[in-house]
Structure 1
Amino acid sequence: MMASQRGDVSAVRALFVSQRASPYDVTPSNCGPLRFAIESGSLELVQFLCHNGADVNTTFGTFETSPLEWAYKTRQIEIARFFLRQGARLDYLCFRGWTPVVLLFQESSPTVPLEFFGLLSGHSFSDFDVQDRFGVTALHRAARWGSVGDVHALLQLGASPTLTDNEQRWTAAFWAASANNVATLKRLTEGAPSNFIDHVDFRGWSILHVAIEAGGLETMCLVLELGVDPHQTIMVESEDSCVMEELTATEFARTKGQATYRCFTQALQLTGYNISVIEDSDTELVFWDT
């Protein structure tokens, strides 16, 4: 396994010849040499293993991930091409319900090269709207962690921006707003249906409330410019009494701390709302000018 991790073809060949190892060896965590060879980035070693019995459709790890999925996870495009030429299945879902494209989007991942999308679509892959066990799609993940180019590519390939996850009923735009990913949020709003701004999650929150919770000035400004109603109230559990109370967006922003409150009032002013902020003893009052 260590030789595979290094991508050392000569060492692996010597181990096979001496029968001290084989392509069928498995670690206690259900991982074989092929998984580590993929991570090493050595196409030569991957080819050697497959030509000596490793199966491109044999899954590994806790979530029974396929070699093709792992090639996408580790951004090894040439290895992915090889797997597809060798008959890797495109319809396989690991235990998480993920396709290869989902594994492209992880926290702190760089922008996805377009060839990863092209490779899939070139092999008639069209399941860009597959939802995992939490209802999350590749577009949700790209909206939060990806770039505008990632989101644009998925939309061009037919990914739906209106699908919601199971836990919060968030669309991809909500995921973008929650991470203050303004670039992807802007792209998602281009050509969005007219009722886009009316969507609320399972708590009754609009995308504005999600943006307020995220605390980003630019995100708040964007959703206000889109026409989201700043007067829409929500029910929130009071931290003091543990009872539900109805709050305006301004009151909700205040519960998130002074910095968030300041950002929200600034966002209102920057987007053309006529408000007056007046200090009253130990708090501030916001008045909407008519």
Structure 2
Amino acid sequence: MPLIMMSGFPASGKTTRANQIKDFFESKISELSPTDPRVARLKVHIVSDESLGLSTEVYREARPEKDARATFYAAVKRLLSQDDIVIADGMNYIKGYRYQLHCEAKALLTPSCVVYVGAPAEKCKEWNVADEESGDGDSHRRERYAPDVLDNLIFRYEEPNGMARWDSPLFIVPWMDEDIPGEEMWNAMINNEAVKPHQATVLKPAAEANYLQILDKATQDVVSAVVEHQKMHGPGGTVVIPEASNTNPGEGQKIELPANHVGLPQLQRIRRQFISFNRQHTAEKTRLKTMFVDYLNSELE
């Protein structure tokens, strides 16, 4: 039966969502079992780092991380069958790894999907250090990520793409949503129904065919301006982006840089986050730089 791959930044709330999915599917099984023998045979399993006894420290170095992924992969493979629904509650942040899991499900002629739990990096960092019983983020997870490990994993994250067959169907669950798209997931995974456009799968289509290219270039231009300013003037100061303005067009908008040097890796990480949150939204191309400058200022505070 289906493989449901959770994906998202560490501490983004994946375990909370995985348990919501498990509860929903078990409720549907209980409801439909009396009249549907096929459904009555189904069982739901969650495979997670915690259930396998894998520490967050395995992500600090390449060799232990590779071994941990192999352990996780083997556990999922063992459970996959015609009567078992497997929720792979890991980051599944490498697209090649998601492809491997997709192939395992395909070999058993069973469907798979990806649930992308979207949360800003700063929110994940907040949840990572929050009290485990607060109800936010991965409330069922017992081990925190070291700050440097968390930053590295966020930097390396490869976002799911619903156009890729191994990431399709893709269900997007924003961090602020209380519920999961349970019915849509059940219909796609159990009833084999095609996924219809829905807020969970399509936030908003781009009005222009080259929207992503425009978004990419607009954000890169801003990053390049910041890098060039620091080369010329050192840390701190103000960078004016002529094409961005919240008031009068042509006056430009200011980026207020902190006193310490802002490195290119940090700028690119913020840029990737912004693109991730806006890639499926339609925005006027003349507003993209303004929006990114606002986002950059908030992240650099």
Which fold has the larger relative contact order, with Cα–Cα distance below 8 Å and residues 6 or more apart in sequence?
Answer: 2
Could you tell me the TM-score, scaled by structure 2's length? 0.26
- Higher Cα Rg, which structure: 1
Could you tell me the TM-score, scaled by structure 1's length? 0.26
Higher strand proportion (structure 1 or 2): 2
